[in-house]
Copies of this chain bind each other. A is one copy, B any other.
Amino acid sequence: MDIIDHQSSCVPPGFRFHPTDEELVGYYLRKKVASQKIDLDVIRDIDLYRIEPWDLIERCRIGYEEQNEWYFFSHKDKKYPTGTRTNRATMAGFWKATGRDKAVYEKQRLIGMRKTLVFYKGRAPNGKKTDWIMHEYRLESEENAPPQASKF
């Protein structure tokens, strides 16, 4: 896989990808939205609504180590005109927001927001809550649904 090769050739042993919210928004998401080069291709592009959370583990692997967080970029799904389909649904379930969005700061300046979502199996408004948690980051200044850097 791409990422494994990049990782092993560019980052020395002992380094782990544990970005802060500020780094995810201020560096990775900002560059992605601006179509700028990202130093190391550690965050994959996926279509979040065509993949189940448990299938992300392989897709978003970094190197060979054990992970319990996976990072990816995904475009926000557009709502269906009929309104019958849940916006954040996959085949097996749906993502539902929980709690309040958290502000992301860079040196006191608001640069983005972080939304937390939980994955439910089944169809809204029913569905069985799972342990899968997603943090969805957005740039604060962008209006038109920028790509999301998300973290499980």
Interface residues of A (CB under 8 A from B): 11-20, 23-24, 27-28, 38-40, 42
Which residues of B lie under 8 Å from residue A42 when comparing CB positions?
12, 14
Nearest chain B residue, comparing its CB with the CB of A19: B14
Copy number in this complex?
A: 2
CB pair A16–B13 under 8 Å, yes or no, is no
Which residues of B lie under 8 Å from residue A14 when comparing CB positions?
17-20, 23-24, 27-28, 42
A91 to chain B, nearest CB (A): 31
A115 to chain B, nearest CB (A): 20
Nearest chain B residue, comparing its CB with the CB of A14: B19
Q: Which of A15, A27, A42 gathers the greatest number of chain B CB atoms within 10 Å? A: A15
A59 to chain B, nearest CB (A): 18
A12 contact from B16, B18, B20, B40, Cβ within 8 A: B40
Q: What is the CA–CA distance of A14 and B13 in the complex, to the nearest angstrom? A: 15
A44 to chain B, nearest CB (A): 14
A83 to chain B, nearest CB (A): 38
